[in-house]
Each structure stands twice: as C-alpha cells, then as structure tokens.
Amino acid sequence: MSKQITRRSSKQGKPGSNKQTPSGTNKQGKVEQNKTAKFEPNKEFESNKQGQGKVETTRQTTRPTPKQARQDRRREELRRREEEQRRAARIRRIALFSAIAVLLVAAGISVFFYIRAANQPKQPVNPAYPSTGKISCDQGEQTAYHIHAHLTMYINGQVTPLSQGIGIAPDNSCLYWLHTHSADGVIHIEAPAHDSFTLGDFLNLWGNQFVSLNYPPQLDTSYGWHAWVNGKPYSGDFHNIPLQAHTLITLAYNSPGVKPDTTYNWGSL
C-alpha cells in the first residue's frame, strides 16, 4: 500500500502535472502580454507614418503654385518700376533745383554788376556839360522813352518864348534828355528808359548850363506866378509840374488876364 501511495504522489509531482496550475496561467498571461507588447510598436509606427504624411501634406500646401509665383513676380516687377520712377523723379527734382539755383546766382551776379555800374559816376561826353541831377548829356538822341510837352510863358504881360537849343551843346557833341530844338515852346523828353521828369528839371538845366539863352531870373522863385496845366489852375509850386506826353503848361508872372492853353497842334509829335 505504501508503494502505491508513493507512486501516486510522485506522479502528481511530475512537471507535466503542472499545466493547469496557476504557474501555467501566468505563462499564458505573459504570452498574451508579449503579443500585446509586440503589437504596440506597430501602432506607433502607423502613427509616425501618419504624422510624416501630415508633414508632407503641409509642405505640399505651403509650396507656391505657378499662379502665385506669377503674381509674386508681377508684384516684384511693379515694386521695381515704382522704385525706378521715384528715383527718376528725385533726379529730376535735383536737376530742376540745381538749374533754378544757377539761374538765381546768375541773376544775382547780373543785378550786382548792373547796380555797381549804375552807381559809378558816368564820364560825360563833353566835360563842359556834366550831368545835371539825374539828366546827362549823351551823344545822340535817346529813343527808348520819347515824349513831348509844351510851355507858354508870360512875364510882365509879354510872351517869353523858350530859347532854341536849350539842353544841346553848341558843338552838337551831346544833348541832354530834356532839350528844345526850336523856340516853339515844345520840350523834348528823350531818355534811355522810362522815367519821371518835372518842369523844375528842365528849368534847372536851362538856368545852370544854358543861362545865356535868355534865361528869365524870375523863374528862380515861385512867388508872383500863376500856373495852369491843360487849362486848369495849378495851386502848387510850378516847378513840381510833371512833364508827361502832350502836357500843356501855361505860366504867368505879373500878367493878369492870361488865358491858359487848352489845345496845341502837335503834328507828328
């Protein structure tokens, strides 16, 4: 009996009898877990592949299309043209400002030398007939400014005509801008530029340079005189009467009842 019991117990202790033991169960669990562990890396691989696919898709979407490339080139060309236009405009402005600056400098220099020349004393053509005030004795007649006025003068009730040759050198070497060619009372105003002259300018020339040509001493005073301009009374100093084109001046010294001039036959003057 004891031998049989020993055999049975030894049979039960053999390794094959442990298949349904908990250890056998642990082996199967490990296998299942190993299988699952082997499957997990595959999922990670699949997810990596999907991620790479997303990256590739993103790269493909950010790559410019031919249409976008053409638009970019057009924008770049437009920007380049606008920059060239701005550069050309700057160059034109610089050139314009430079030209204006040169013209202003040239004009300033011209004005400077003109004023300097004008302020320098002018040498008279004939030293015997220097300038009287602003009126000079020039060689030949001036034609830039050429007008005529007329003077009728009464002294002590008698007509006193203007002498011929007032303002003209006897040797005809020069003539002043204000002068007379005859005794008809016409005063010739011939100047190199438009200017304002008065009757006093003419009378001073007559009294200073041509006193020998019957200059009346009564003209040195303004008292005792009556004056008319174009037939109308003149209340101020007659020396200040302007000499303008076809001005009719009538002077009367101690001569009551004088009728002033209102007309004159200028002819071609």
Alpha helices in 65-189 (DSSP H): 66-119
Alpha helices in the chain (DSSP H): 2-12, 22-62, 66-119, 199-209
pLDDT number for residue 60:
52
The sign one gets for the Cα dihedral 80, 86, 92, 97 is negative
pLDDT number for residue 116:
65
For 129, 148, 186, the CA distances from 179, given in Å and listed in that order, are 13, 10, 9
pLDDT number for residue 228:
98
pLDDT number for residue 73:
85
SS3 content of the chain, % helix, strand, coil (to 5): 50, 15, 35
pLDDT number for residue 12:
47
pLDDT number for residue 61:
55
Query: The whole model's pTM is what?
Result: 0.57
Place of tokens 């060239």: 84
- Give the CA angle between residues 192, 198, 156 to the nearest 5°: 135
For the domain made up of 137-253, the CATH class stated in words is mainly beta
Neighbours of 14 (CB within 10 A): 8
Tell me the CA end-to-end span of the chain in Å, nearest whole number.
Answer: 184
What does the block give as tokens for 126? 């004939």
Task: Give counts: helices (H), strands (E), the chain.
Answer: 4, 9
For the chain, give every domain's residue range. 70-120, 137-253
Distance CA 132, CA 2 (A): 179
* Total residues belonging to the chain: 269
pLDDT number for residue 67:
81
pLDDT tens for residues 171-209?
999 999 999 999 999 999 999 999 999 999 999 999 999
pLDDT number for residue 124:
76
pLDDT number for residue 238:
97
List, run by run, the mean pLDDT of 10-residue segments along the chain (269 residues): 45 45 45 47 51 50 76 87 91 91 88 65 81 92 94 96 96 96 97 95 96 95 95 96 98 96 95
Distance CA 95, CA 239 (A): 56
